[in-house]
Structure 1
Amino acid sequence: EGTTTISWLFDKFVMLMVCYFLVTIIHALARNHHRRRTKPAMD
Structure 2
Amino acid sequence: MHCYKTEYREKIKDVMRFSGPRMIIYEPRLALKHLIESLRHK
- Larger RCO of the pair (alpha carbons < 8 Å, separation 6+): 2
Q: Normalised by the size of structure 1, how large is the TM-score?
A: 0.41
Q: Normalised by the size of structure 2, how large is the TM-score?
A: 0.42
- Which protein is bigger by CA-based radius of gyration? 1
